Structure 1
């Protein structure tokens, strides 16, 4: 069963000076547009996790899911919002992608699903080989709706770091090649945006 997808755009973009980082232009279209174009063919439905006035995203035609946890606790709050939305849809899992990562692989969902199945895990995170260790990309993951109450409890208890929670549940890693560049390169700063311009096909 193909899972729905959730784009995580609930951060504060401090290193970009605030605002909606996904609206920054790259190669003639917004970062969000790049992400939507890559993720939509891979999922059964698509939603956006974002905080503030949802009307500013009306042009995208996507459901906008705010964090259900106060004070911007990070990506896990967006994952939880997505899981709560997916539960209403009757879905068993969601796949998440970050709104500031425009070059992620077109087979993201297939590889995450396969890694979870092969490693007998409920959660799978994207990963790439690094010079000294495997680098995990925890905003790109496959998440089971069945763990949403566990995640809600963890967030209420103050947990914020994604991998601390995923490690509790024995998350699988789905490996992706990092050549000719890391497909999970994300745009955090104006310099990153300049680098990304040189990576646009």
Structure 2
């Protein structure tokens, strides 16, 4: 299997944050999205953003911007499918998905996902911590993209419903703290800033 590419899921509507692009919120001296890009790029062959609306607002990041291939804000699986289609065009075998509002995810995310899915004909794995699964962080095989497209067209929306049907493996992260803490509310952003300041 060749090196995965990454899709950064930034297609949500951020309703709890008052709308807009959460990834453009400031954390430290840059944006949430810039932190995510900095963490994922060394782990993959290339990366793209999944976001809807005018892509010009994200040109500062220098990455392809892929809209959901299915209309109606059907959830993160649509963004995963956008990444799988893009990966197929590039000749990649798999895609790693990460969330645009989760700036502290592990720097060994990709190798641990690959290890979890080792030996699978269609490598598929989701991240989990002791608190449960984090389905926006996963390894997805390009070979199942048409299966996923058909499932979404048929009304499927829950990530784990589809991944369980394909016997997804689990990459467990059980160290201290929650490396997959994500920024959903203004209070979360304050907490993220405190974590960032403590790490400096």
- TM-score normalized by structure 2? 0.95
DSSP-derived class of the 1:68 partner: coil
Structure 1 residues 149 and 118, CA gap change in structure 2 (3 angstroms):
closer
Q: Which residue of 1 aligns with 2:187?
A: 191
Alignment match of 2:161 (pick from 159, 164, 175):
164
How many pairs are equivalent?
196
DSSP-derived class of the 2:138 partner: strand
Q: Which residue of 1 aligns with 2:150?
A: 153
Matches within 5 A, 1:23-38: 23-38=24-39
Unaligned runs of 5+ in 1: none
DSSP-derived class of the 1:122 partner: coil
- Structure 1 residue 177: Cα displacement: 2.2
Structure 1 residues 84 and 119, CA gap change in structure 2 (3 angstroms):
closer
Q: Which residue of 2 aligns with 1:92?
A: 93
**8 Å Cα contact 1:31/1:102 also seen in 2:** yes
DSSP-derived class of the 1:199 partner: helix
Q: Which residue of 2 aligns with 1:108?
A: 109
DSSP-derived class of the 1:141 partner: strand
The ranges of structure 1 where at least 4 consecutive aligned residues each deviate by more than 2 angstroms after the TM superposition are: 118-122
RMSD: 1.1
Structure 2: distance between partners of 1:122 and 1:94: 10
Q: Which residue of 1 aligns with 2:68?
A: 67
- TM-score normalized by structure 1? 0.95
Structure 1 residues 51 and 28, CA gap change in structure 2 (3 angstroms):
same
Structure 2: distance between partners of 1:97 and 1:117: 20
Unaligned runs of 5+ in 2: none
**8 Å Cα contact 1:129/1:178 also seen in 2:** no
- Structure 1 residue 119: Cα displacement: 6.6
Structure 2: distance between partners of 1:83 and 1:119: 18
Alignment match of 2:170 (pick from 142, 157, 173):
173
DSSP-derived class of the 1:198 partner: helix
